[in-house]
Amino acid sequence: MAGNSPITTASIKEMKREGQRIVMLTAYDYPAAKLADEAGIDMILVGDSLGMVVLGYESTVPVTLEDMIHHTKAVTRGAKRAFVVTDMPFLTYHGTVEEALRNAGRIMQEGLAKAVKIEGGAELVPLVRRCTQAGIPVVGHIGLTPQSVHQLGGYKVQGKTPEAAQKLLDDALALEEAGAFALVMECVPKQLAELMSHRLSIPTIGIGAGAGCDGQVLVYHDILSYGSEHVPKFVKKYGDAGSLIKQAITQYAGEVRCGAFPQDEHTFTMKEEMLERLYGEGVKI
* 44: β partners: 25, 84
CA distance 103 to 43: 21
Give the CA distances from residue 261 to residues 5, 243, 244, 267, 285, in Å, rounded to whole numbers and listed in that order.
Answer: 45, 22, 19, 10, 19
Per the annotation, where are the binding residues?
Answer: 48-49, 87, 117, 119
186 is catalytic: yes
Q: Please state whether 284 falls in left (phi above 0), alpha (psi between -120 and 50) or beta.
A: beta
Residue 80 phi, psi (nearest 5): -100, -30
The 10 Å CB-count burial string (b at 16+, else e) for 146-171 is bbebeeeeeeebbbeeeebbebbbeb
DSSP annotation of 202: S
Beta strands in the chain (DSSP E): 22-26, 43-46, 83-87, 115-119, 138-143, 182-186, 204-207, 215-218
The catalytically annotated residue of 38, 110, 163, 186 is: 186
Per the annotation, where are the binding residues for 3-methyl-2-oxobutanoate?
Answer: 48-49, 87, 117
Element (H, E) at 189: none
Per the annotation, where are the binding residues for Mg(2+)?
Answer: 48, 87, 119
Residues 80, 84, 89, 92, CA torsion sign: positive
3-class DSSP state of 215: strand
DSSP annotation of 233: T
DSSP annotation of 21: P
Positions annotated as catalytic residues are 186
